[in-house]
Amino acid sequence: MIIVKLGGSVLTDKTKPFTIRYATLMNLISDIRKYINETKNAMIIVLGGGSFGHFIVSKCIEDKGFIDEYCASLTSNVMNELALHISRLFNISGLSTMVFTTHSIFTYDNYELKGDTKIINHYLKQQIVPILYGDVILYKGRFKVLSGDEISWYLASILNADKLIFVTDVDGVYDRHPRYPNARHLPLISLSKDLNKIRIETRGYDVTGGIIGKLKIGLRYHRGFEVLIINGLIKGNLYKALIGEKIKATKVIP
């Protein structure tokens, strides 16, 4: 089973509110369809918030200092709508995707994420490709952002995935922001040894910490399955990563 996190940076233009990168999205859908048609492997797709979820949450925090019930409702509905829209595009390409309302599956129990993976497994067994998304969930009377990254790590760890692929807008991890000419690409990164080697700030609307956030969460969940961070802006890259062909990317080990 494979988990693919389609990051907000590749699905949307993170600097422009509510903007989908359709050309890129259609390439990613086509890679996934090709892979599933050829292998019949099970897959779960997780969507990031990009300029949808992140935009709303950052505005709320700017205006009110926290996520109130109206903001939670707005964020959740917008993310659900985005997921349904993307799921319909998968349907048009012939794939059997189904959106799972993420906040009704996940909860925190004493700071630990808990998800109803039984229900997801149930559908996976019937060749459905579940789609989940970064959402807002209620914890101890407060609304909290649950990132698509954490959902992906969690599901990979609990469901014993063979592979977890983070699709982003860069070729993986660099020692500093890739816009610097002297930024060095890191083909392999160990979560326990290398995290202090990276200095990166995030761009656009982002409330969950960008690439560093993604890696830090992994510390909790990495059980030795294969983890790749790849560039989804390059056509065909996702398909290559899915079938195990070598591309410029970062492999993440515990």
Binding site for ligand IPE (CB under 6 A): 7-8, 48-50, 53-54, 57, 75, 79, 134-136, 145, 147-149, 206-208
Cβ atoms of 181 and 172 within 8 Å: the answer is no
Residue 58 CB, shortest distance to ligand IPE, in Å, is 8
Which CB, 70 or 193, lies closer to ligand IPE?
A: 70
Residue 146 CB, shortest distance to ligand IPE, in Å, is 7
Which CB, 48 or 172, lies closer to ligand IPE?
A: 48
CA distances from 246 to 8, 94, 118, 250, 252 (A): 24, 27, 33, 11, 15
Which CB, 87 or 208, lies closer to ligand IPE?
A: 208
* Identity of the amino acid at 26: M
Residue 12 CB, shortest distance to ligand IPE, in Å, is 7
Residue 65 CB, shortest distance to ligand IPE, in Å, is 17
Query: The tokens of 230 are what?
Result: 């790849």
Spatial distance between the Cα atoms of 175 and 89, rounded to a whole number of angstroms: 36
* Identity of the amino acid at 62: E
Helix (H, G, I), strand (E, B) or coil at 71: helix
Which CB, 92 or 100, lies closer to ligand IPE?
A: 100
Beta-strand (E) ranges in the chain? 2-6, 43-47, 97-99, 106-109, 112-115, 129-133, 135-139, 142-146, 163-168, 173-174, 185-186, 188-190, 226-231, 250-253
Spatial distance between the Cα atoms of 225 and 166, rounded to a whole number of angstroms: 13
Residue 243 CB, shortest distance to ligand IPE, in Å, is 24
Which CB, 20 or 34, lies closer to ligand IPE?
A: 20
Which CB, 16 or 122, lies closer to ligand IPE?
A: 16
Residue 43 CB, shortest distance to ligand IPE, in Å, is 17
Instruction: Compute the half-sphere exposure of residue 229: CA atoms within 13 Å on the CB side of its CA.
Output: 26
